[in-house]
Structures are given as C-alpha cells and as structure tokens.
Amino acid sequence: MMFDEREPKVPKVPHSPVGSQRKNKTGSWRDKRPVINISKCIKCGLCALHCPDGAIRIDEEGAHINHDYCKGCLICERICPVKAISSKIEEE
C-alpha cells in the first residue's frame, strides 16, 4: 500500500530511551510514599514486576523501594496480594 499524500502525517513524539529513568531521580515528584511491611511480604515480586520506574527490588528479606526513583503511583500498593504495601503522605 502506498502512502497517500492526502492523509495527515502523524508528528513524531519526543520520548526518552528505555532505561533512561535511572539517570533522573524523580522521587521528589510524589505526594504519597509507599511503605513495605517486610513481615507481611511473601516475596512474590508482583510489585517489582509492575513498578513502571523499576524502583523496587526483591531479595531474601523481601521487597525494597528505592525512593529516589519512586514517583508515588502506588501501583505496588494496589497489586500486592497480601497488602504488605501501604502508603503515607510524603513529608517535606
């Protein structure tokens, strides 16, 4: 199929390369901070899998959040099957 010159051209949208969020600390953007109760964490990894910022890691103790990169979307809180993640209002 040939490109029809009458069709509107879609403008290019600027974007950041994959993984570039590691270069920019964005933790200051949030108004709520996720908090993990390690004693409840079952280390399933769902929070880390769904974190859009890659700010969560899982180790033998449980989940840990790098708040320098967490934007506070709280997807982790909603996805946790055992409710080990809660949120609190960010303090200045």
At 40-83, the pLDDT tens digits run 999 999 999 999 889 999 999 999 999 998 999 999 999 999 99
Query: Whole domain around residue 33: which residue ranges?
Result: 25-89
Q: Classify residue 8: in a domain, yes or no.
A: no
Q: Are strands 32-36 and 62-65 parallel, antiparallel or unpaired?
A: unpaired
Which is nearest to 34 in space by CA: 61, 5, 64, 72? 72
Q: Classify residue 5: in a domain, yes or no.
A: no
Q: Classify residue 50: in a domain, yes or no.
A: yes
Q: Classify residue 10: in a domain, yes or no.
A: no
C-alpha 86/C-alpha 92 separation (Å) is 19
Q: Is 67 in contact with 74 (CB distance < 8 Å)?
A: no
Q: Classify residue 1: in a domain, yes or no.
A: no
Please give the tally of structural domains in the chain: 1
pLDDT of residue 90: 85
pLDDT of residue 29: 77
Q: Classify residue 73: in a domain, yes or no.
A: yes
Task: Enumerate the β-bridge partners of residue 34.
Answer: 87
Q: What's the CATH code of the domain at 50?
A: 3.30.70.20
